[in-house]
């Protein structure tokens, strides 16, 4: 079975500029890697597998092509772990306010 079929929400990847096509005015760590891009949209092709060159229709209806890299891409940023460096601030400042 194909990884994605027409209408699925997917993400594509594009290399916008290879290192030698990039601006000259860059730190070497940036100049040595390609300039890349990811865009989400609905698959236009009948079906496709990861790594295939595909077309998508973006949320505003434009058609863009690139390499299929994710199907049903999820937002996975989160609230982070509790930070012990912050947890006692509440008690500390309340104690200070009580003293005054």
Partner 1 sequence: MDMSYSAVMSRKKDILRRATGIDYDRFEISPLTFDYEGLMNSCEYSLEDVQRILEETGVGKTPLVELENLTELVRSISSPGRGGRIFVKDEAANPSGSFKDRRAALSVFHAKKLGYKGVVAASSGNYGAAVASQAAKRGLKAIILQEVYDSRKVGQPEILEKTRACEAYGAEVWQLTVGPELFYIMLRVLEETEFFSASLYVPTSVRGIETLGYELAQQVFQREGRFPDVVMITHAGGGNVTGTARGLNKAGSYNTIVVGVSVDLQGLHMASDIDFNRKSFTTGHTGFGIPFLTWPDRTDVPRNCARGLRYLDRYLSVTQGEVFYTTELLAKLEGIERGPAGNTSLAGAISLARELEKDQILVVQETEYTAAGKLPSSQLTFAKENGIEVRRGDPKENIPGKAIVIPEGVDQIRIEDMDMEKIRRSYIERAMKMTEGYVPTREDIEFLAEDSKSSVDYVQETIRSLKVKRAELA
Q: Which residues sit at the interface with partner 1, rule CB under 8 A?
A: 16-17, 21-23, 25-27, 29-30, 33-41, 58-62, 75-83, 85-86, 89-90, 92-94, 96-97, 99-100
Q: How far is the CB of 66 from partner 1 (least distance, A)?
A: 11
Q: Rg for the chain (alpha carbons), in Å?
A: 23
Give the DSSP per-residue string, 32-82. Answer: TS-EEEEEEEEE-SSEE-TT-EEEEE-TTS-EEEEEEEEES----------
CB of 82 to partner 1, least distance (A): 6
- Residue 99 CB, nearest approach to partner 1 (Å): 7
């Amino acid at each position: 079975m194909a990884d994605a079929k027409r209408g699925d929400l997917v993400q594509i990847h594009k290399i916008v500029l290879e290192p030698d096509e990039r601006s000259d005015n860059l730190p070497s760590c940036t100049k040595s890697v390609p300039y890349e891009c990811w865009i989400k949209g609905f698959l236009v092709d009948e079906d496709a597998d990861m790594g295939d060159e595909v077309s998508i229709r973006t949320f505003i209806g434009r058609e863009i092509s690139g390499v299929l890299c994710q199907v049903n891409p999820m937002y996975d940023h989160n609230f982070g772990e509790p930070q012990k460096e912050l947890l006692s601030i509440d008690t500390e400042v309340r104690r200070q306010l009580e003293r005054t």
